[in-house]
């Protein structure tokens, strides 16, 4: 583009120069031209002017074609980049959502399992309590069995407490996971928005630059 612009400016200067020379010689030979016809020098200069003007028009057209080609190249390049980034973002979002869904499913399975364990422990605890009460009502002859039931009840209570603690931990982890998922989705949307704005700015800059080059080309043709 720079070399074409320089060549156009050079041709434009030559056109102005030969036009000026042609006009001066034409004025000097005006009287003779009425008697002997146009001067050979004037005709030669006119031919040179037309030749240079033709070259100028050709170079200007070449510059316009290159500018148009450059504009199309950048437009296609930006379009490809934009499409590629969009695909990458969608893939990233899909992968993250799949991972999050997998973790959520795993946590839900664990929580359901804990609920089942809790229900079983609560039932065992209730049975132990019923057995302990029955043993106490049976009298002192069953004292060793009563002691065993009490120990069993204490063990069940301990296991129940541990299960409740684990259940709370899983519930907190699941809640934290939901929060992370929301933050991830928000960041993904922001990334898409910022990427689109940046690409639009690059494209607008390229269009502005190419428009300026085309205007310069039109000016040089005048």
pLDDT digits (tens, 9 = 90+) for 133-142: 555 555 545 5
Distance CA 110, CA 170 (A): 8
Q: Residue 220: pLDDT band by 50, 70, 90 thresholds? A: very low
Write out the two tokens for 195: 């990427």
More confident residue, 58 or 49: 58
pLDDT > 90 fraction of the chain, expressed in percent and rounded: 0
What is the tally of helices (H) and strands (E) in the chain?
4, 0
Distance CA 164, CA 214 (A): 75
Q: What's the pLDDT at 188?
A: 64
Residues 6+ apart with CB under 8 A from 32: 39
The matching CATH number, chosen from 1.10.3470, 1.10.287, 2.60.40, 1.20.1420, for 2-221 is 1.10.287
Contact 54, 16 (CB under 8 A): no
Contact 176, 148 (CB under 8 A): no
The mean of the pLDDT values for the chain is 67
What burial letters (b/e) apply to 77-114, b meaning 16+ CB within 10 Å?
ebeeebeebeeebeeebeebeeebeeeeeebeeebeeb
Q: Residue 152: pLDDT band by 50, 70, 90 thresholds? A: confident
Distance CA 13, CA 49 (A): 11
Q: Which value, to the nearest 10 degrees, does the dihedral of the CA atoms of residues 152, 154, 157, 158 take? A: -110
Q: Residue 58: pLDDT band by 50, 70, 90 thresholds? A: confident
Residues 6+ apart with CB under 8 A from 27: none
Contact 37, 10 (CB under 8 A): no
> Whose structure tokens read 């494209």?
203
Distance CA 156, CA 125 (A): 6
Q: What's the pLDDT at 140?
A: 46
Domain ranges of the chain: 2-221
Q: Tell me which long-range contacts 98-105 makes (C-beta under 8 A, separation of at least 24).
A: 100/177, 100/180, 100/181, 100/184, 103/177, 104/174, 104/177, 104/178, 104/181
Q: What is the pLDDT of residues 64-93, one digit of tens each?
A: 787 777 778 777 877 777 777 677 777 777
Q: What's the pLDDT at 221?
A: 45
């Amino acid at each position: 583009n720079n070399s074409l612009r320089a060549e156009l400016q050079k041709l434009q200067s030559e056109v102005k120069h030969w036009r000026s020379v042609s006009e001066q010689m034409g004025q000097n030979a005006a009287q003779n031209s009425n008697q002997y016809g146009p001067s050979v020098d004037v005709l030669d200069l006119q031919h040179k002017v037309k030749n240079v003007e033709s070259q100028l028009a050709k170079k200007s057209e070449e510059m316009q074609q290159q500018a148009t080609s450059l504009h199309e190249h950048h437009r296609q390049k930006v379009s490809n980049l934009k499409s590629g980034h969009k695909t990458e973002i969608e893939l990233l979002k899909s992968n993250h959502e799949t991972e999050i869904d997998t973790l959520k499913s795993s946590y839900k399975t664990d929580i359901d399992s804990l609920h089942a364990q809790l229900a079983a422990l609560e039932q065992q605890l209730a049975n132990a309590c019923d057995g302990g009460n029955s043993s106490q009502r049976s009298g002192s002859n069953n004292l060793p069995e009563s002691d065993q039931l009490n120990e069993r009840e204490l063990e069940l209570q301990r296991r129940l407490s541990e299960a409740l603690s684990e259940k709370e931990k899983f519930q907190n982890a699941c809640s934290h996971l939901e929060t992370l998922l929301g933050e991830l989705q928000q960041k993904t949307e922001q990334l898409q928005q910022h990427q689109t704005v940046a690409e639009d700015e690059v494209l607008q800059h390229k269009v502005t630059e190419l428009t300026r080059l085309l205007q310069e080309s039109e000016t040089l043709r005048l």
